[in-house]
Amino acid sequence: MALCVMPKEALPSLIERLAAQQKVVGPKRVPRGPDSAQYGFGEIKSADELELGYPYTILPPKHWLLPRDEKLFAFKLGPQPEVTAMIESEPTVFFGLHPPDIAGIACLDETMSDRNPDPNYLARRDKITIVGTEISADEYPYAKFIGNDVAASGYDLFLTDIGDAYVCDVATDKGQAVMSLVETRPATADDLAAVEAVRKQTAEQAEDVLDINVRLLPLTMTKAYDSGVWEKHSKACFRCGSCNLVCPTCYCFNVEDRVDPNLTTGARVRTWDACMLDTFAAVAGGENFREEAKARLLHRVSRKFHYQYTKYGHPHCTGCGRCVRTCVAKINQFDAINDLLAEQAEGVPHGR
Amino acid sequence: MVAEPNTLYLPQFATVDESSAMTATERHLKLRLDSGQSLGHKPGQFVQVSVLGIGEAPISVSSGPTADPTFELVVRNVGNVSGALHRLEAGAKLGFRGPFGNGFDVEPLKGKDLLFVCGGIGLVPARSLIQHCLANRGDFGDFSIFFGCKTPGERLFLDELEDWRNRGDVNLLETIDRPHPDWSGNVGVITTLFPKINIESPKDTVAIIVGPPIMYRFVIIECLNAGIDEEHIVMSLERHMKCGVGKCGHCQINQKYVCLDGPVFTYAEARHLKEAI
């Protein structure tokens, strides 16, 4: 729609005006001892809290779209039980998402709109405005491989820091509504060249992490089922499910009923679940269809690079690297894939 | 993206018309939709059954399609929800969503010889198709039913088994895994029944297989050896499910969701799904 420039000193008033209108969620410092900090998405009341230069966050912003505990409906027990549908949603701006997390929301949009559209997710998503910012390649070693070092779409507004100002790519009406809160000037050729320079630097910093073009991975994965790499790389798995929980595209859920202490009312709640937990595919009769860790790792990697990829035409891994960073056992799916590629190139099984 | 009213996860209500014990672990429930409408299911579909305050579980509809607002379930007492369903008495309310799943495709079965191979509570989903086909018996050729159980006490629908045995146009063969004092019939796993029938036109025979996971690969081998086409070997698969609508991820087999793409698969499809059987 438009490319404009906002001086940096306008940011505090923009945040203040936005926060007066609706909920603003953005990267915040999470203190971790006296000298270090991690970052997480949280509600932003003033620009002081907003850490736009953040390296990455522990969790993606998915819990604002798919809450960890989400009430699907309220119920009243008794001889004549009653149910009342619930959708909790409110207008929210995600301020300062990195391209991998923007891509993660695009993946969730596909999954949740497909076949039986999920009314709760879509109601919430409809009210969300996405404002993106650039990443540093050092913090996202896998983003370029996936193609998410630079965001091409999926945002309403995108801010590129060019020193004393932000070049603002206004992509939608929602983005325009945000920019209408502050004074801007049209972007010049010099501004756009500055954006280009920022992105070029990001691309040049990124290292190749896989020995293959990502477009070929679905084919690689079709031949992966009998490989020994899954056993080799899943041996150390603690079955904690952390990789699922921090993944911006993982959405699998459990459903449970919670009864209030009065024992007559309650709610059906969906909670995050994880396919790397060992009972995820177990049925009541006792059978477990993915009893072994190697089957679970293969399943998870296949969802990212084969099943969903084939269905939607792009990987459902965003390259954010959170699964690698979070894994207690230091399991790296990209290492597993590199072993798989080597195995396929040599025709010799790896890891057995 | 415009949100529809949230009906995807919201159950409707039905009332328990009858509840009776079938075996030590199975209970038969006849339910009546409070809406007064028919469930409108296909044979082989399932419903997500809710006992509010306890939870929800996927359960196969065991009755054939009818125009009236009733349907039947058979519930094995293996968990919280199924345990709560066992405690429901006539007049109790329960919630349900569905019907879900693809169900059995009846049209391609017409004119074919049918061979049902049912292991234990596999008879429950198969019965919805058996009832439907027997109600239109003239549409089908030879009609054989294999029913195998571990013990005589696990046999289900005893009156109906007698009806099928006596009606003259159904060849019902039963077996029990190991000898038992209360059993004078065939003994051995279900595959030992195959030599007892003559599959005259294997290319015109459809095998419908429903049973525990371990059963499939052995029965499929028998069917293939008999000359039945891969496309004509039809089975209903069981998986863990939390939503029934292709969202929760639990029932995924490779690219397929059992709740949407299944639970009914042909062997021609399932042989390409590494985790299916």
**ipTM rounded to 2 decimals:** 0.90
Q: Is A42 a domain residue?
A: yes
Rounded to a whole number of angstroms, the distance between the first and last alpha carbons of chain A is 55
The reply to whether A224 and A194 lie within a common domain is no
Q: Is A351 a domain residue?
A: no
Question: Does the pLDDT at position B222 exceed 70?
Answer: yes
Distance CA A332, CA A322 (A): 10
The reply to whether A11 and A151 lie within a common domain is yes
Which chain B residue shows the shortest CA-CA distance from A267?
B53
Residue A95 CB contacts under 8 Å (≥ 6 apart), including other chains:
A15, A18, A24, A25, A26, A44, A50, A131
pLDDT beneath 50: ranges in chain A: 352
Q: Is A160 a domain residue?
A: yes
Indicate yes or no: CB of B76 within 8 angstroms of CB of A87: no
Which pLDDT belongs to residue B164? 97
Distance CA B185, CA B174 (A): 7
Place of tokens 């196969």: B60
The reply to whether A257 and A341 lie within a common domain is yes
B8 has a chain A CB within 8 A of its CB: yes
Q: Is A252 exposed, middle or buried (0-12, 13-18, 19+ CB in 10 A)?
A: buried
Which pLDDT belongs to residue B97? 96
Q: Which amino acid is residue B149, in one-letter code? A: C
Q: How far is B9 from chain A (nearest CA, A)?
A: 7
Which chain A residue shows the shortest CA-CA distance from B89?
A79
Indicate yes or no: CB of A252 within 8 angstroms of CB of B246: no
B197-218 burial: b if 16+ Cβ within 10 Å, else e = eebeebeebbbbbbbebebbee
Which chain A residue shows the shortest CA-CA distance from B13?
A81
Q: Is A352 a domain residue?
A: no
- As a whole number, mean pLDDT of residues B51-61 equals 96
User: Which of B10, B54, B247 is the closest to A83 by Cβ?
Assistant: B10
The reply to whether A196 and A56 lie within a common domain is yes
- Max intra-chain CA distance, chain B: 64
The reply to whether A192 and A232 lie within a common domain is no
Q: Which helix (H) or strand (E) covers residue B70, if one does? A: strand B70-76
Q: Is A315 a domain residue?
A: yes
The reply to whether A186 and A54 lie within a common domain is yes
Question: Does the pLDDT at position B29 exceed 90?
Answer: yes
The reply to whether A42 and A94 lie within a common domain is yes
**More confident: A206 or B235:** B235
User: Which of A116, A283, A311 is the closest to B255 by Cβ?
Assistant: A311
Q: Is A184 a domain residue?
A: yes
Give per-residue pLDDT as tens, B166-190: 999 999 999 999 999 999 999 999 9
CB atoms closer than 10 angstroms to residue B37: 11
The reply to whether A45 and A187 lie within a common domain is yes
Residue range(s) of every CATH 2.40.30.10 domain in chain B: 12-100
- Please state which CATH number belongs to domain B107-270: 3.40.50.80
Indicate yes or no: CB of A257 within 8 angstroms of CB of B255: no
Residue B276 is classified by DSSP as T
Indicate yes or no: CB of A285 within 8 angstroms of CB of B1: no
Q: Is A151 exposed, middle or buried (0-12, 13-18, 19+ CB in 10 A)?
A: buried
The reply to whether A176 and A237 lie within a common domain is no
Question: Does the pLDDT at position B259 exceed 50?
Answer: yes
Q: Which of residues 64-123 of B touch A (CB under 8 A)?
A: 76, 78-79, 82, 93, 95
- Max intra-chain CA distance, chain A: 72
User: Which of B6, B245, B254 is the closest to A120 by Cβ?
Assistant: B6
Distance CA A312, CA B256 (A): 14
Which pLDDT belongs to residue A30? 87
- As a whole number, mean pLDDT of residues B197-226 equals 95
B263: cis peptide before it, omega within 30°? yes
Indicate yes or no: CB of A273 within 8 angstroms of CB of B11: no
Q: For residue A24, which of A5, A46, A8 has the smallest C-alpha distance?
A: A46
Q: Are B135 and B108 in contact (CB under 8 A)?
A: no
The reply to whether A190 and A294 lie within a common domain is no
Indicate yes or no: CB of A253 within 8 angstroms of CB of B8: no
Q: What is the DSSP string of A215-229?
A: GGHHHHHHT-TT-TH
Among A150, A175, A205, the domain boundary falls at: A205
Which pLDDT belongs to residue A348? 61
Which pLDDT belongs to residue A100? 96
Q: Which of A71, A255, A291 to mutate to test the interface with B (most CBs of B within 10 A)?
A: A255
- Provide the number of CB pairs (under 8 Å) joining chain A to chain B: 144
The reply to whether A196 and A219 lie within a common domain is no
Q: Which domain holds residue A93?
A: 2-205
The reply to whether A148 and A293 lie within a common domain is no
Among A172, A205, A238, the domain boundary falls at: A205
Q: Coil, helix or strand for B224?
A: helix
Q: Which of residues 199-218 of B touch A (CB under 8 A)?
A: 212-213
Indicate yes or no: CB of A116 within 8 angstroms of CB of B245: yes
Q: Is A9 a domain residue?
A: yes
Indicate yes or no: CB of A83 within 8 angstroms of CB of B3: no
Total structural domains within chain A: 2
Average predicted confidence (pLDDT) for chain B: 94
Chain B residues touching A172 at Cβ < 8 A: none
Residue range(s) of every CATH 3.40.50.80 domain in chain B: 107-270
Q: What angle do CA A263, A264, A267 make, to 5 degrees?
A: 95
- Please state which CATH number belongs to domain B12-100: 2.40.30.10
User: Which of A117, A285, A306 is the closest to B78 by Cβ?
Assistant: A285
Q: Is A7 a domain residue?
A: yes
User: Which of B52, B243, B250 is the closest to A75 by Cβ?
Assistant: B52
**What residues form DSSP beta bridges with A7?**
A165
